Structure 1
Amino acid sequence: MNRISRYIPNTLTCCNLIFGCMACIAALEGYSLHAMTYIFVAVVFDFTDGLAARLLKAYSPIGKDLDSLADMVSFGVAPGLMLFRFIHERITDPSITVYPCLLYLFYIAALAIPVCSALRLAKFNNDTRQTTSFIGLPVPAHAIFWSSLICTLTPDCDSVLSVLTTDLSPTILLTVMAVMAIATSLLLVSEIPMFSLKVKSLVWKGNEQRYLLILAAIVLTIWLGIVGIAMTILLYILLSFVGLRSK
């Protein structure tokens, strides 16, 4: 039984990788909702593989490296491809004129997500300061934000955000998204402390930010749907900044 239990965390990590690959395929095919769903499932497996490793005490150097490689695909490449497809669909529309300088900006923004995700994961594996909290935005949170945001902006998604951006110029929308993508990607490799959702106890004291975030996530998702998920990640960043300033 002990020999079998050693393989459980890595098996869960491989499931993360499988759904990450499925998200990449769905993103390339233009199925944003499917890609987002696969990324969310990958997040669940990413959480459970670490939990299983701690409970079973099945740590290994291979498992650590495998986890980073799976995360790179699921939370770096997949959301980057989603943004790339979103941009490509709009700039290839004959009715839309895009200046060459903006075109470079758009594609650089899409590529910034996987590149900075790789740097973030490499940094995490070698940074001893990130045992109980994070330095920089975690890649799963970044992937959740971009996959849900892109999904809400697709024409077949009946969300508040898609309605508000209906009459917005595609060039303006893409420019705003490109700037946001570069900004959030830089947050991945920043030195800004971010709190972790891992808890040592269930008491309120010391877990205020975590409980507020969980409560807000439930309320925002019920109220706004998928766009509420993206707003939850923005709230996570804001709460981390507030926690930083209060120290």
Structure 2
Amino acid sequence: MNFIKNNLANALTLGNLFSGCVGAVHLVLGDYQTTAICIILSLVLDFFDGFVARALKSNSNLGVQLDSLADMVSFGFVPGLTMFVALAQNSNMDFPWYCYLGFLITVFSCLRLAIFNLDEDQKYYFKGLNTPSNTVLIFGLYYAFKENQSFGFLFDNINFLLGLTVVSSWLLISPIKMIAMKFKSMKLKDNYPKLALLIGAIIILLVFKTVGIPLVIIYYMIVSLLFQQQLK
């Protein structure tokens, strides 16, 4: 019984990793809908591995390392691969050199995860855009485009895609404080940023549906900027 208790969180983390691997394969095969399901599953497992570890008091150094390694695939490699695919599909040539610049997102995701592991200040907020949110932004834009041609202005222009790659890479390691859904206090006034984010995100998704997925991340960044002084 103790074996299950001590390793349940790690099993969820490895499930996140496995889901990310499957999602990457299907993205290369052109099955972006299965990739979307895999990303959602990875997000759920990434949330619950930490939740379970805290609930069962089974936190460990191994779990910390596994979490970052799993995130590197699901939320580091997958968004970089998404940009690679988007750039490749925008070209008449087979994999021109600039397609590989999409993996700058993967490189900076790796750097961001390493910085996060060493930064003891990021307990109740994130410094820079966290990798799951960045994945939702990049893949969410791609998914909306493939589903109903939304954001066509972006995916029909190589320069815009490269610009998004640079912005995404910078956001991952930027000094901007971002809201984390961790509660330091249960006082209402201390949680205004989280409430504003939650209510706004629900409204955006109800109104815009699929298109609203990347818009929620943009809204998340805007709300975080507005509440910089309260994030600590």
TM-score, normalized by the shorter chain, greater than 0.5:
yes
Label 1:152 to 1:10 Cα distance change in 2 as closer, same or farther (>3 A): same
Q: What is aligned with 2:173?
A: 189
Deviations 1:47-80 (A, max 9, x none): 1000111111111111111100000000010111
Match of 1:107 in 2: 100
| 2:117 partner amino acid | N
- The 2-side partners of 1:244 and 1:152 are apart by 30
- Say whether 1:13 aligns with 2:6: no
Describe the shift of the 1:85–1:58 C-alpha distance in structure 2 as closer, same or farther (beyond 3 A): same
Unaligned 5+ residue runs, structure 1? 95-102
After TM superposition, give the deviation of residue 246 of structure 1 in Å: 7.0
Q: Give the number of equivalent residue pairs.
A: 230
CA distance in structure 1 between the partners assigned to 2:216 and 2:54 by the alignment: 27
Paired with 1:63 and 1:77, the residues of 2 have a C-alpha distance of 20
Contact 2:16/2:70, CA 8 A, preserved across alignment: yes
CA distance in 2 between partners of 1:170 and 1:204 (Å):
41
The equivalent residue for 1:65 is 65
- Residue 231 of structure 1 aligns with an amino acid whose one-letter code is L
> Does residue 147 of the first structure (1) align with residue 139 of the second (2)?
yes
Contact kept? 1:39, 1:74, Cα under 8 Å: yes
Q: Give the letter for the 1:240 counterpart.
A: S
Alpha carbons 1:106, 1:175 under 8 Å: kept: no
Structure 2 partner of 1:2:
2
Secondary structure in 1 matching 2:190: coil
**Equivalent residue number for residue 133 of structure 1:** 125
Structure 1's consecutive aligned runs of 4 or more residues displaced over 4 angstroms after TM superposition are 103-106, 168-171, 200-203
> Identity over the aligned pairs, expressed in percent?
33
Normalising by structure 2, report the TM-score: 0.91
Partner residue of 1:242? 226
SS of the residue 1:7 aligns to? helix
Partner of 2:86: 86
Q: Note the residue ranges of structure 2 that are not aligned, 5 or more in a row.
A: none
What is the CA distance between 1:33 and its match in structure 2? 2.3
8 A contact 1:32–1:82 mirrored in 2: no
